[in-house]
Amino acid sequence: MKSRKERDVIVVGAGPAGAMTATILAQKGLDVLLLDRAEFPRDKTCGDAVPAGAIERMWHYGMKDKIQTAVARGEFYPLNGLLIVSPRGYEIRASFHLGREGSTSYVAPRMYFDHVIQQHAIDSGAEFCVTQAKEPIVEHNKVVGVRVRANGQTEDLRARLVIGADGVTSVIARHLRPKVEQHKDEHRAIAIRAYIDDLVEFPHEVEFYLYKNILPGYAWVFPTGENKANIGLGMRLDYFRKHKLKLETMLKEFLNMPSIKQRLKRGGELHDIASWQLSFGSQARIHHAFHGALLVGDAAGFINPITGGGIHNAIISAELAAQTAAEALRQDDVSYENMKAYEQLCHEELWDNMHSSYRMQNWFVHFPFLVDVLVRFGKQSQALTQTFLNKL
Ligand SMILES: Cc1cc2nc3c(=O)[nH]c(=O)nc-3n(C[C@H](O)[C@H](O)[C@H](O)COP(=O)(O)OP(=O)(O)OC[C@H]3O[C@@H](n4cnc5c(N)ncnc54)[C@H](O)[C@@H]3O)c2cc1C
C-alpha cells in the first residue's frame, strides 16, 4: 500500500459489486482503496451467466475492449437463448434479446469475468491491495475505516466512507446490521456448481431444469465452449434443510437424468466442484446504508430469488452506491440521513422484480403443475421465460 493516509473510500471486496463501485468512484477522481482477501484472478462459485444488460453497463465505464479481448480469447462464451424444462418434461426455448446498445449475454467463468472488472478498477485509478477485512472501525456510532489482517498483523485503515462489497458472508454487513435483519432461510439458497468437459452442449444456449424434487430451485447446464459447461443446482435453504438433502447427491442424480446422461461422452467427470450460499433481495426492511458505510451486491443481499442471478444487480447497486457516495463526499456528510437515499434508489430499481420472483417461486413449490402449464403453453404465456430472460 502506498501510504497510511485517510482515503476517500475503502471498498471491501473486489467482486463485480466492489470492483465496479471502485471503478466508478476512481473515474470520478476520488482516492479509492480496493481490498480483497484473494489475489486475482480468482475463482468464485457461480453459474457464470452474465446477462447483456450487465455487459452494457460495463461498456459505459470503458470496459468494451477488455470484454472483446476476453471473447476473442474464448474466455467469455456468447449466448443466443435458453431452454426451460418443466417437471413433466415439457420444454420451451426462447431467444435472448441483445442489449439496447447491441451487447450480448455470456457464460463468463468468474476467473476471467471478475478479473476484467478488478483490472479495470486499477486502470481507472483505484489502488488494489490483498488483505482480509476483519471488521469495520466504528467511532461515535460512525464507520471511519476497516480493521484488516495481513501477514499475521492487524492494521487499521481509515477512510471517509466504507463500501461493504464482501459478498454473502460480509463482515461489514454482519457488524453493522442488527441481528433481526440477518437473512432468513426462506430468503436464502444453497447451490453447488462444477465444470464438465465431456457433455454435448446445446450451442450458445443455457438450460434450466425445474423438476419436482428441486423446487423451489433448479438445475442448470451453462455451456462454456464445445463439450464444456458449468453444471450445477441450487435450492431455497428452508426446503433444503427441511428435507435434509445433500447437494453432491442431488448433483449426481441430475447427471443421471436421461436428458443429461445420454449427452455425456466419457461418463461425465466433474471438476472444481464447490458450493456456496445466496441471499435474496426479497427480504424486506433491511438496511443497506449506515453512518459512514454502504453495502452493495451480495453483501446487501441483491440476488433474484427465482433465477439466483446476482451479477447484474451487483452492478446496478454499485452504480447507485457510487452515485450516493460521490454526492455525500462532495457535501462532506456521510451520515445515514444523507445517504439513506441509496436504500430508496435500490428499492425503486430492484424491489418489484425481487418481490414478484419470490411470489412466483412460492406458487411453483405449492403448485408444480403451474410450471408445466407455463412451459407447455409458453407461447401464449411468456411469464416464466421472461423471468429467466430478464431476471437472471
Ligand atoms: C452456485 C451459484 C451460482 C450462481 N450463478 C449465477 C449466475 O449464473 N449468474 C449471476 O448473475 N449470478 C449468479 N450467482 C450469484 C452471483 O455469484 C453473485 O450475486 C455475485 O457474485 C455478487 O457479486 P459481489 O461482488 O457482490 O460478491 P462476490 O462475487 O462474492 O465478491 C465478494 C468479494 O469479496 C471478497 N471478500 C469476502 N470477504 C472478504 C473479507 N473479509 N476481506 C476482504 N475481501 C473479502 C471475496 O474474496 C470476493 O472477491 C450465483 C451464486 C452461486 C452461489
The alpha carbon of 320 and the centre of ligand 1 are apart by a number of angstroms equal to: 18
Pairing of strands 270-279, 188-196: antiparallel
The strand pairing partners of 7, in sequence order, are 159
Using CB distances shorter than 6 Å, the residues near ligand 1 are 12-18, 35-38, 44-49, 132-133, 165-167, 171, 191, 193, 232, 234, 276, 278, 297-299, 303, 308-312, 314, 392
pLDDT attached to residue 3: 54
Model pLDDT for residues 35-84, shown as the tens digit of each residue: 999 999 999 999 999 999 999 999 999 999 999 999 999 999 999 999 99
pLDDT attached to residue 147: 97
Q: Is residue 99 part of a domain?
A: no
- Rounded to whole angstroms, the Cα distance separating 171 from 358 reads 26
Same domain, 54 and 27: yes
Q: Which of 96, 174, 220, 298 to mutate to test the pocket of ligand 1 (most atoms within 8 A of CB)?
A: 298
Q: Is residue 305 part of a domain?
A: yes
Same domain, 250 and 345: no
List average pLDDT for each run of 10 residues in the chain, which is 392 residues long: 80 98 98 98 98 96 98 97 93 87 95 98 98 98 96 94 98 96 96 98 96 94 98 97 97 96 95 98 96 98 96 98 98 98 97 92 88 78 65 61
Q: Find where cell 471511519 sits.
A: 144
pLDDT attached to residue 293: 98
- Exposure string over 111-137, b if 16+ CB within 10 A, otherwise e: ebbbbbbbbbbbebbbbbbebebeebb
- Exposure string over 228-239, b if 16+ CB within 10 A, otherwise e: bbbbbbbbbbeb
Tell me, letter by letter, the H, E, C secondary structure of 83-119: EEECCCCCEEEEECCCCCCCCCEEECCHHHHHHHHHH
- 270: containing domain: 186-280+368-390
Q: Is residue 352 part of a domain?
A: yes
Cell of 331: 457535501
Same domain, 175 and 207: no
pTM to 2 decimal places? 0.97
Q: Is residue 91 part of a domain?
A: no
Nearest protein Cα to ligand 1, atom 18:
310
* CATH code of residue 205: 3.30.9.10
The C-alpha R_g of the chain, in whole angstroms, comes to 21
**Helix 341-366, helix 383-390: angle, nearest 10:** 140
- Rounded to whole angstroms, the Cα distance separating 337 from 368 reads 44
Structurally, the chain folds into a number of domains equal to 2
pLDDT attached to residue 85: 94
